[in-house]
């Protein structure tokens, strides 16, 4: 299985590298226009930046995952701790780059090719989160470094089951990507008509980054503590 790349990084790689090889049934389409209801929840310090990305994105995608069951508290916790999710994949012997918790809900990611990304949760929804990311991404060795700004709105509507503490989740991700550079234009031209599909695959992989671990813990609850433990210093 190819090395996994952090959810946001996968989103931003227009070359469409697959982080996970499993076959899934996609439900993908362009992301909807931003709603004032979401922007109203974003603090003033970030609202203008988030609004600009959502209003005039270079590329958008929306993906709705197939329903699955998980412990009701696990999925929201995973969204708040992507560094632990990366560690969990590593502990399952799936190669994952390190994600660093930089404090105050912010995280960072980098790779040997020079890609760097920082992001933070800028708003919490009743059943979701809004992330804002900035950085630069090198999609492949022969492609130029591309500066990026992105917003991802992840929602996870849930329904109770007949099992105590277990819910059925149907997560969805709406992704907005902006890159105002000649390098980005070159990458987009190279991707051509395939770019939207690549973005959809990125949105799909973003959700599977979290749901794969949530599903595994539901089936193997005795492994949760070891999988999600903080990295030993």
What's the pLDDT at 112? 79
Work out the number of other CB atoms within 10 angstroms of the CB of residue 160: 11
88 is a domain residue: yes
pLDDT at 60 over 50: yes
233 is a domain residue: no
127 is a domain residue: yes
How big is the chain, counted in residues? 233
The tens digit of pLDDT for each residue in 124-157 reads: 999 999 999 999 877 666 667 788 899 999 999 9
pLDDT at 49 over 70: yes
For the record, the structure tokens of 78 come out as 């995973």
The tens digit of pLDDT for each residue in 166-200 reads: 999 999 999 998 887 666 666 666 666 666 677 78
What's the pLDDT at 41? 93
CATH code of 51's domain: 3.30.530.20
**Structural domain of residue 209, as residue ranges?**
7-220
Higher per-residue confidence, 7 vs 49: 49
- Token pair 């770019």 in the structure block, residue: 195
What's the pLDDT at 68? 97
149 is a domain residue: yes
Q: 62 near 26, Cβ under 8 Å?
A: no
For the record, the structure tokens of 102 come out as 């930089």
Q: How many domains does the chain have?
A: 1
Evaluate if pTM is beyond 0.85.
no
1 is a domain residue: no
Nearest to 149 by CA among 173, 129, 130, 132: 132
pLDDT at 227 over 60: yes
Q: What SS3 string covers 180-223?
A: CCHHHHHHHHHHHHHHHHHHHHHHHHHHHHHHHHHHHHHHCHHH
197 is a domain residue: yes
226 is a domain residue: no
86's enclosing H/E stretch is helix 82-91
39 is a domain residue: yes
């Amino acid at each position: 299985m190819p090395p996994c790349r952090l959810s946001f990084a996968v989103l931003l790689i227009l070359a469409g590298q697959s982080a996970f090889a499993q076959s899934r049934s996609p439900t993908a389409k362009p992301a909807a226009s931003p709603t004032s209801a979401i922007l109203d929840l974003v603090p003033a310090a970030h609202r203008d930046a988030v609004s600009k990305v959502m209003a005039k994105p270079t590329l958008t995608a929306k993906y709705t995952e197939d329903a699955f069951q998980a412990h009701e508290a696990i999925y929201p916790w995973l969204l708040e701790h992507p560094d632990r999710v990366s560690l969990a994949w590593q502990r399952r012997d799936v190669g994952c780059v390190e994600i660093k918790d930089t404090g105050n809900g912010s995280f960072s990611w980098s790779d040997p090719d020079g890609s760097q990304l920082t992001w933070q949760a800028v708003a919490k929804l009743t059943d979701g989160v809004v992330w804002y990311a900035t950085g630069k991404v090198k999609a492949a060795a022969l492609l130029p470094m591309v500066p990026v700004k992105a917003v991802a709105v992840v929602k996870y509507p849930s329904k109770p089951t007949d099992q105590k503490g277990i819910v059925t989740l149907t997560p969805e991700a709406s992704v907005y990507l902006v890159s105002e550079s000649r390098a980005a234009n070159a990458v987009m031209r190279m991707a051509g008509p395939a770019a939207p599909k690549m973005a959809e695959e990125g949105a799909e992989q973003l959700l599977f980054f979290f749901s794969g671990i949530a599903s595994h813990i539901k089936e193997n609850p005795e492994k949760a503590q070891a999988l999600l433990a903080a990295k030993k210093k």
